[in-house]
Structure formats: structure tokens, C-alpha cells
Structure 1
Amino acid sequence: MTEFQRTTLDSGITIVTERMNEVRSVTAGLWFDVGARDESDKLAGTSHFLEHLLFKGTGTRSAKDIADAFDAVGGDINAFTGKEYTCYYSRVLDDDLPMAMEILSDMVNNSTIETAEFESERKVILEEIAMHEDAPDELVHDLFYRSMWDGHPLGRPVLGYNSSIGAVTRDQVAGYWRDRYSPPNLVVAAAGHVDHDDLVARVEALFASSGGRRNLRSGTPPSPQPGVTVLKRPTEQAHIVLGTEGLPRNHDDRHALAVLDTILGGGMSSRLFQEVREKRGLAYSVFSYRSLFADAGTFGVYAGTTPQNAETVIDIVRSEIHSILNDGVSPAELKRAKGHVRGALVLSAEDPGSRMNRLGKQQLTTGEILSIDEMIEKFDAIELTDLERVAQTVFGSEAFRVTVVGPFDEDAFDRYAA
């Protein structure tokens, strides 16, 4: 069994690695404990804006220099921003890891954020927001969060708003960067053909030995707000999310919820896929999903269907949820879902990028890193009674939020508001 190694430096940086002798590549990521929920309303979208800006050049490298360095070795460099973290990562051959780490560290430590680049990237972000607004199958999920957690930072979109991105200044973004991107907020994760001790030494040499503060989040968890939200758009399909309050990241039933998610809408054999798509032909895309955060979570179902079938699809989703609540799931469904989860975990372990993501995210968010075998053990231990319990926890109140984007009036789905 492959095991991970972990070292925490005096500066507060934690390095976690998992060696894969069977590959020649390494995926390495810098994970910062900074995300959209850490922004004020005025700075909404700043974490994502900053992610773009740190690719624009440092005191010694231009944006093209950064791109050329990775293209020259056939490597990749990219980043992503979430509600609670930001990650900058690269995938290269093992011999090129020193170059990748040097450039990644230079970007997050020494970017210049020049005014001209700042204003140019502001336009790019505004275009990205416009593109997102034009994608109703993506927009509906943001609307669900906004309405479900109205007034809470977790309810805001990661991209921010036109108003906040249009108004934020370079100094505000730079100040946010300097305040949040400190050693105590950083996890360096790597998986592949990597030597742990060598990476530790490189991180020590590339990053400050001290400075900055730990990002300690305060405030109360969001309060879920059931009801109905309709955004009228002249779309060919109705894009629907029916969701409710889920579980926080460290909840004891999080693994049981993953299995329940698989049974309800997580694969081709799931109840929703079979009932909505295969038997009735009402949707091309239908699935369930869960999102777990530090102190809150959501569980949702998405479906895209023709407008005249929207209410039928919502009724089927609610009926399947009621069936799980009232009748439970069968032993065959539980066995099949366990097999699905087990296979997905093992297949993902063959990819250094997936392993790096698992290491970085677990270390940053919980501090507990489970091996694939340990995770499989937890899923194998789940019984029908566990699914009954988590179903009652998540679905029992029937406090659902229905969010729809499509050619409908505001009151078209009011009967689901009760």
C-alpha cells in the first residue's frame, strides 16, 4: 500500500507527498486556505481575480516566460478557486519538478500585479462572468446557493459580481494577497515520482521562514432558506436544482451520504437516471451531488428538461426522495453503490493529479489524510441503517429549495414553496 509522508516546517507550511514509483511524472500543488467565503461583500470575487493575476508575471518572469517554461518540457500549469481554498498546480516530468516549484513559488510570492495587467484581467473576469451568465446549466447552481444561503459568504459565487469586480482596486487585491497568502495558510502537496525530503528542502529554500497569520474563519454557519427561485430566461430547456441542507465536512455520516448520493443520482444505474432518463426520456442530464464545507453543506439534484416537463421532473425527484425516506434502499442498491464508490476511488488513485488533489484538500480542510484502503474500509462498513439515518438527517425536514432557470414567470412553481 502506498503511504503518504508529511512534514510541517517551523514557518507553518505543511508538505504532504505520496510516491508512485510506477510513473515518471509529478503533480504538485500549492494549496492556500483562502477562498470566496473569506471575502467581504465589497471584495466578492477577489480570490478568483487574484488567481488570474498571479499568472501575469513577477519581477524576473513575464507571463510568456512562465508559459514558455512549461511548454518547453511538455508540462502543465493551472489553478482553481473554490469557496474555501485556492490551488496553483503543475504536472511535469520528475526531472522538471525543481523548475515547476521555483516558478510556482515565484508567482505566489513575487508577482508584480502591474496596473495595466490588472485592468486587462478585470475585463477578462467580467467576460467570464458574462459567459457564466449565458450558461444556464451552470448559472442555476450559483442561483441555488445564492437563494439557499442568502446573505452568507458561502452563498456568493466564486466569480463575484459585475459590481464588485468592476469596483475593486489593485491595492485592495494586493492587500488581500499579502494578508492571506502566508506560510501558515499553505499546504504543498505532491504525488507521483517525487522524493519527499528533496521537496521539503526545496520548499524551505523557496518560501519565507516565518510571517503572516493563520486564516481563522469566524462567524456563524449559514441558515438554509427553503422556497422557490425562478430566473426567467428564453432558454430551450428548463434548468432545475432541487436541494436542501446537507452535511458539514467532518460529519460522521459523510461517507454514508456519498453512498446515498450514488444510489439516488450518482451513476447510470441510479434511481434518477433510470426513472427520469431511461424509462421516461424526460432529460438528457440528471444527477445528484453534495457539497461539504467547514460548517455547512448542501445536497442537490440537477435536471435539464423541456419547459413543459419541468413540473413532472420535479415531482419525480421528490417522489424518489420520499421513497428513500419511507421505504429505504435495497441491499442490492447498497452493494452496487459500494462497488461504484470503491471502483471510482481505485481508478482515481492511478492518476497523480487525483492523488495530489486528495492529499492537498484533506490536509488543508481536515488535517486527516486517509489512504485509499482506509477510505474503502469506511465505505465497506456502511449498512442499510446508516443510509436510513443519513436520509432522515438530510431529507427528513423536506425543507427543499427549488431553483429554476427557464422561460417561466416568477410564480410558475409556487406550489413547491410550501
Structure 2
Amino acid sequence: MREPILFPLDLPELSVELGGGTIRRTVHPSGLRILTEHMPAARSATVGFWVGVGSRDEQSERSDAPGSLGSTHFLEHLLFKGTPSQDAYEIATSFDRIGAEHNALTAKEYTCYYAKVRDADFEHAVGSLADMVTNSLLDAEEFEMERGVILEELAMAADDLGDVASERFFEEVLKDHPLGRPIGGNPDTIRAANRDDVDRHYRDRYDPSTLVVTAAGAVDHDRLVEMVLAALNASHEERWHTDRAGVPERRERGNLEPVDTREAGEGFVTVERPSEQINLLLGAPGFVAGDPRRFAFGMMNSVLGGGMSSRLFQEIREKRGLAYTTYSFGASYSDAGLFGIFAGSAPEKTAQVIELSKQELAKIAADGITDEEFERSLGQIAGSSALALEDTETRMGRLARAELGAGELYDLDTSLERFEAVTADEIKAVATYFANTPLTVVAVGDTGKMTR
């Protein structure tokens, strides 16, 4: 069985031929890491500037500074608002002028600023992103303007029943763990935020040792390394200069104990919202990233709720018409995870949907899956993975998540070998694990009409 590509933090250079392309990685003496995947036929490229700091890392901010919560998301917005060489409008027009897809994302364990461009405009994208990441002004007036924008973003999410259900589900399942907090903060923390807290977050957490630059598509690795080093050394902020020795930020997050799935307990949480439908989530803490059971979980999850032929879809929607949408899912992080089942149904049907969801999970735990389901699950995983990897943005993100995560990259063939090797007993064991774990239920909508 093929082994994954390993990314040791103390290995300065790495080059691997993979599927007709080449993956290269440079670890600079400053701690900066740059990874590329050259795709020979591509006429575009996606580049991302990643920092291994997410919403969960705000736990280490001062306890007497409530505005520090939400700083990561606040900072993501502010880096688009101007540097000494370009204001917010110039940043926007510079990307629009070349037809780029550009944006940023804040996650629970990392933040990314990225652009997808045609090959001829790649250097422009790298230069502009590097300027934003290293030279942001964090202007006080822009800070106040963006406070209003973020509050509107949170208000929009509060009007979306699915978003509300998801946020409450994480909070209820993961309890006091920092991963259970909302990524964007909440209205109270955003109103309490001040520029000094966010500026401190920027200066304390953003430097070459925390930066990972990844690119995929029509990209030349050596040229990208030159461009990134030149941009960082030209930064107005001395902390970005790469002439000082450093070490890459360690991947381990050993400051927190893993979530104990047996401590969560069964709960039923309702959130009242005017709606014709209840958005329902039920689940429990799941597996951490890198757990050896993750491949068996992927197979089990595909059969349970991974598509239109899945057991949940067939039993809840096709045979009984109780919901339009239903599926199961998993989320994995460095020291915690989450497993869940979603359905949207009329209030009077929720009790039946919950019971059917539990029954289908219990059936897999008791009887396993059929040979036909195994083959169908394997085909679904193989096909969806292959289609996703046609896109340079997906490949760029895959490099970053491998580097910021466990430091190992599973290419498509290596990953599929692991799925093919999963046994029927391993799938049953995963289903049994969750079937025997108390499930938390979160229901959002006109809950007064619900059946229990």
C-alpha cells in the first residue's frame, strides 16, 4: 500500500512527481513554507496565503478583553482595506481588472487569503496578496466601518435557519471547547472589539513562521519562492523580513485535552424562529483529524447519508416524504471532531425524522452494510474526489491543509487504497461507536408546533 507524502518541518526542500505533475515544497530558514503543485495543462493558477490561526486560537487572548473574540474574522475583513501602497478600492479594482476570483476565509484552525487568476496574471496576484497580508494599515475609520459590515454579516446568518442550527450544534456538542465557538464571533463580541486588540492579534500571530503559501496550476515553484521572499523583505513591517532565522510553527495543538464523547450527553435544544420548517441536527463528538478510523467513517457516512441513494435519503425523503433535504456529515480538527445528521422537515414530522435517523444508524451498527453499498460508496468517494481535483483551487487548498494539519498529503490513489482496504467489521465498529453515544439534538424553527 502506498504511503502518503510527508512534509517534515525540518526538511528544506522536497520534490515529488505525482500524476503527471510535480509537487514541490520549500521551508525557508525564516520558517516560511511555500508549496506548489504544477499542473502541466493548466492555463490558470490559484494562490493562497495561509496563516495557521483560526477562531479557536483566540482562547489565548487576554481574558479581560472580550473584544478579542472574533479578532480573526475581523482581521480577515480588514486586510482588504488598504496598505501604504494601495487603498481598499485599488485592491478591489486590481483584482477585478484581471478577472480574478479573490476572497478570504476564516476557519476554526486557519485563515486564508487567495486569488484564482489566469497564468499571465499570477505574479500580480502574488504581489497584491503579499502586500495585503504583510502591510495592512488596520485603519481606525475602516475598522469602525467594517464593524458594521460584520454585524450585518452576522445578522444575515441569524436569518438563515441552517446557519443558526449549525452554530448551536457546534456549541452544544463541543461544549466549552474553543472549537465550539462561532467562527465570526457574535454581535456582543464584535461590538466590544477594539482596534488595539485586533492589531495585537495581527502582530502577535502573523509572521514568516506562521505563513504558508500554496499554489496550484500554471505555476513555477522557484519563481514563486523568489516573488514571496522579495515581497516579504520589501514589507514596511520589519517582522516580515526573512533575513532572520526562525522555525515553522509547530502543527500540534497540545494546549487542550481532546473532547470526551461520553461527557457530552444527550440533549434536546430548541431555538425559536418564525418558519414553516424545522432545521434539525442531531449528532455527537466525532473523530479528530488523522484518526485511523476516518476511512471507515467515510464509507459509513456515504452509505448512511452521503447522497440520493443513501439510507437516510431513501427512508426519510423517498419512501415517506418527510423532508426535502437530509444527509450525514463529519468534521475533524486537531483535537476534536463532530458527527451529525441534518434534516429539514415540518414541525409535526420532526419526531419521526429523529427516530428514523437513529434507526438507520443503529441498523448499520447491528448488520453492517451490503456488498453493493460498499461498492457504491467506494465509487462515490472516488468520483467526487477526482472531480474536485480538476480544480486548481481545490488542489491549492489540499496542499495547505496537509501542511497545516498532520504534515502528510494523501493523493487520490493513495487515499482510495485506504478506502478499498476498509473492512465490513470496521464500518460496523464506527457505526456502533456513534449508535452507542448519546446524541444531541438541535432544532431551529417554529418549535412550538414540534412533536417530541
Alignment length, in residue pairs?
412
Which amino acid is the alignment partner of residue 383 of structure 1?
T
Q: For structure 1, list consecutive stretches of 5 or more residues without a partner in the other structure.
A: 414-418
1:15 to 26, 34, 45: 34
d(CA) in 2 for partners of 1:357, 1:255: 20
d(CA) in 2 for partners of 1:275, 1:212: 56
1:333 to 352, 359, 373: 373
Contact persistence 2:348–2:451 (CA under 8 A): no
1:399 aligns with 2:438: yes
Residue equivalent to 1:158: 183
Residue equivalent to 2:216: 191
d(CA) in 2 for partners of 1:343, 1:411: 39
1:344 to 379, 384, 405: 384
Change (3 A) 1:9 1:59: same
The C-alpha deviation readout for 1:79-100, integer Å capped at 9, x for no partner, is 1111101111101111211111
Residue equivalent to 2:204: 179
1:133 aligns with 2:170: no
C-alpha deviation, 1:410, in angstroms? 11
Q: For structure 2, list consecutive stretches of 5 or more residues without a partner in the other structure.
A: 1-18, 233-240
1:219 aligns with 2:244: no
1:368 aligns with 2:405: no
Q: How does 1:11-410 map to 2 (within 5 A)?
A: 11-40=30-59, 42=66, 43-207=68-232, 208-209=241-242, 210=244, 214=249, 217=253, 218-224=255-261, 225-226=264-265, 227-393=267-433, 395-409=434-448
Contact persistence 1:229–1:410 (CA under 8 A): no
C-alpha deviation, 1:220, in angstroms? 2.0
What is the DSSP-based 3-state SS (H/G/I as helix, E as strand, rest coil) of the residue aligned with 1:92? strand
Larger mean CA deviation between 308-317 and 225-234 belongs to 225-234
C-alpha deviation, 1:348, in angstroms? 1.1
Change (3 A) 1:360 1:109: same
d(CA) in 1 for partners of 2:450, 2:279: 16
What is the DSSP-based 3-state SS (H/G/I as helix, E as strand, rest coil) of the residue aligned with 1:39? helix
Contact persistence 1:149–1:223 (CA under 8 A): no
Residue equivalent to 1:416: none
d(CA) in 1 for partners of 2:385, 2:325: 23
Which amino acid is the alignment partner of residue 28 of structure 1?
V
Contact persistence 1:240–1:404 (CA under 8 A): yes
d(CA) in 2 for partners of 1:411, 1:149: 25
What is the DSSP-based 3-state SS (H/G/I as helix, E as strand, rest coil) of the residue aligned with 1:154? helix
What is the DSSP-based 3-state SS (H/G/I as helix, E as strand, rest coil) of the residue aligned with 2:50? strand
C-alpha deviation, 1:120, in angstroms? 0.5
Change (3 A) 1:66 1:391: same
TM-score (norm 2): 0.88
Identity across aligned pairs (percent)? Answer: 42
Contact persistence 1:44–1:156 (CA under 8 A): no
Residue equivalent to 2:24: 5
Larger mean CA deviation between 207-216 and 124-133 belongs to 207-216
